Structure 1
């Protein structure tokens, strides 16, 4: 985002999105200020800056998420940068502090000399006191889904269904990219129940039939159980998963095949899900072998973790999707 005019373009896009989705004037105004502040920060301070804006619904609550990503220089003193009046560019220095107060959820990961990720989330539903109605389940979920360079739609897709003790998640990667790949991904997601999910193996079989007549897709389906600490999963093609904690890193690998074209008899697998481990799922727009050079990012909001994986490990030539799930901290 090197052109200052792009900030105004992003602000107008945010305004149109919030209006279309029924956000009230107060929340729409807060979102516009956040877009303006984070966009201008990228222009003034950062290199390789990007703003990502998307809406998603989880557990009946609709939110607009704003992600700022840059390649540097990072913040040597994060707390100082969040204080009003602090500036390194001769401005009023109210940007990050203002955004942190305006957003319903706010989080930052920064690496001095490397770059910064910032999340600002705004919820549509409010209670009578004006407080946000956040999803109150046993899981926290974050995701980033990007189209291939030069494309206007992504050939990837994802879905999540949350229950008190169970999370069902699917990731789909239509073959190739562009509109035909997007059509395939959408066809697979039509058989996923966003309220109740479904057994992983059953989803793969139903998606295989739904994808007949399309170019086909790689798919992965996962059921995470808080109570048993187990993950059941099934898939076809190169959707990959990792179960990562500070002391462990295990890979969830699907069987070969292409849903809608050729799939062998679907086999479900199981794996332990340690209490503090994140589950990170991604399409093949992300490198298959990657490692965190800074494990502190695992403590951040799952949306920040997903953006980090995109930021550091995207191949840069295909659609790329990352979905991150962890147990919610306020649950036992």
Structure 2
């Protein structure tokens, strides 16, 4: 049997707005505190603090409605700090030029993004003029060591409802040589009890052997009894046959994006752990260069393929972050999971 590898557990530790100069220091402190908790050396922690300062200063000076997300990644061997920045600013017309030292639109030295790229293990950015920019920078324990999980073909992002510190939505991704399997759970309600249900779904999913999506959802339904329960969905992507088998229970939305079109995938009514009259999987074609998107109801379903069609070559985390910025609603927990199968 082909070995199954679960991608690192990702936790969005803090969503921090950057609209005032004083908020730059808050981002730096959050990033360095996380690095210390993960066991980074003082030197590496200081490098992460410098990068966090550069990223958030850039948001404060150039952007509107800028936000930084400080994230932890934990694998079996490695840990990483990831910083995601997103804004509704003027956008950047020449991304290659923006990475060069000396480029600035405010009369400063303009060394920020170049310094971030040198300090990070990996760094990517996407931007649309008059819409905004999104950036992700990952920092491994050792800058030059290849991480155990390599380059992800799927990634997600979560955001708690206003007033809560934890998000009740969660996701996980496992891969084999010929398959990529995505799972999302939207815990019922908000706060710690919703998060406990979705965390239980993540643990079970990561421990299960390879099973068809409807069997995985049935197992999740059984195991979530005694918790708040929630909506759950599993998408099993066959990388050889280029198909997706999808099973959703409750209000998880999913779609295949390809050739400028958005094909929705079907979820049936129910609440995992409480009510499931029918658990059924559906099959969909996966064209070349297609992207698979899953999201909780913290996003409106009224977004179109045109909002993502020019992002399909970007890292999945930037696609997810941009979609959350453009379609997210703040009166609910939100989760977006994106797969870009190669």
TM-score, normalised to structure 2, is 0.88
Inter-partner Cα distance in structure 1 for 2:341 and 2:142:
23
- What is the match of residue 114 of structure 1? 131
Q: Cα 1:278–1:165, aligned 2, differ >3 Å: closer, same or farther?
A: same
Inter-partner Cα distance in structure 2 for 1:4 and 1:67:
18
Q: Does 1:80 align with 2:97?
A: yes
Inter-partner Cα distance in structure 1 for 2:288 and 2:176:
17
Please tell me the root mean square deviation across aligned C-alpha atoms, in Å: 2.1
Q: Does 1:286 align with 2:274?
A: no
Shifted more, 239-248 versus 86-95: the winner is: 239-248
1:254 Cα deviation after fit: 1.1
- What is the match of residue 163 of structure 1? 176
Q: Does 1:99 align with 2:112?
A: no
- What is the match of residue 245 of structure 1? 258
**Alignment gaps of 5+ in structure 2:** 1-17
CA contact (8 A) 2:181 2:236 kept: yes
1:59 Cα deviation after fit: 8.2
Q: Cα 1:35–1:185, aligned 2, differ >3 Å: closer, same or farther?
A: same
CA contact (8 A) 2:75 2:148 kept: no
Q: Does 1:10 align with 2:23?
A: no
1:295 Cα deviation after fit: 2.4
1:214 Cα deviation after fit: 2.4
Q: Pairwise mapping of residues 1-332 of structure 1 onto structure 2 (< 5 A)?
A: 1-57=18-74, 61-124=78-141, 130-133=144-147, 135-136=149-150, 140-193=153-206, 196=209, 198-291=211-304, 292-293=306-307, 295-328=309-342
SS of residue matched to 1:9: helix
CA contact (8 A) 1:218 1:239 kept: yes
Q: Cα 1:76–1:229, aligned 2, differ >3 Å: closer, same or farther?
A: closer
TM-score, normalised to structure 1, is 0.90
> How many residues matched?
324
SS of residue matched to 2:108: coil
